Amino acid sequence: MTHERSLGPSPFPDDDGLADPQVRQALASALTGQPADYLNAVAGLCTTRLMVPVVAQATEEAAVHARGPVDKLLTVDKEADMAVVMLQSSDGRKAMLGFTGTDALHTWQADARPVPVTLDTAARAATQEGATALIIDMAGPHPVVLEGEVLAQLAQGHRLVALPDDEFGWMQPRPGDEAADGSTSPDPTG
């Protein structure tokens, strides 16, 4: 059986999986509930890579006889694909997960594989999958939820930036200025 999937080069070839300490501090500050602290955290996330977890998902199972003191019929994975993790609440809303570092990802689930992406790429994937939120560092140390207009702007490739006088603004990508990882370079004149 041939699979026609291939992996391209990583957009973060020297990534050590560590979280940016300044971004982690901004996420901690966002928990104060102050809008400016939340927006600072989002702006910080726009400048770093995230880890999106993927896990193995069985695509075909097989029955196998296990011999021993008692013969058993076991179900095992015959084939599996890697899938992005989506959470679903009891009311049907979905959220995708992102992590600032492999430590936070493995605290959540030790066997999840990290895929490094930019925030706009993660937001775009979340919205394409029908998610209404992107949860950053769900298991800690400082979880933050991106949703609503913030998630929509990020999914369009926009990046939040801090401006003078404690203001914030969205930078828009220049047409045709897309990187190999699908992210865009912001246009400061946007």
Q: For residue range 109-126, what is the model confidence (pLDDT) as tens digits?
A: 998 889 999 999 999 999
The answer to whether position 62 is within a domain reads no
Tokens found for residue 173: 């990508």
Q: Which of 60-64, 89-93, 148-152, 181-185 has the highest mean pLDDT?
A: 148-152
143: cis peptide before it, omega within 30°? no
Question: Angle at Cα 118 formed by Cα 181 and Cα 7, nearest 5°?
Answer: 35
The answer to whether position 73 is within a domain reads no
> Does the predicted model carry a pTM greater than 0.85?
no
The answer to whether position 76 is within a domain reads no
What amino acid occupies position 169? G
The answer to whether position 75 is within a domain reads no
The answer to whether position 128 is within a domain reads yes
The answer to whether position 166 is within a domain reads yes
Q: In 3D, which of 127, 124, 113, 137 has the Cα closest to residue 41?
A: 137
Number of domains in the chain: 1
* Residue 119 belongs to domain spanning: 21-56+83-187
Structure letter (DSSP) for residue 91: T
The answer to whether position 104 is within a domain reads yes
Q: Given this model, what pLDDT does residue 65 score?
A: 54
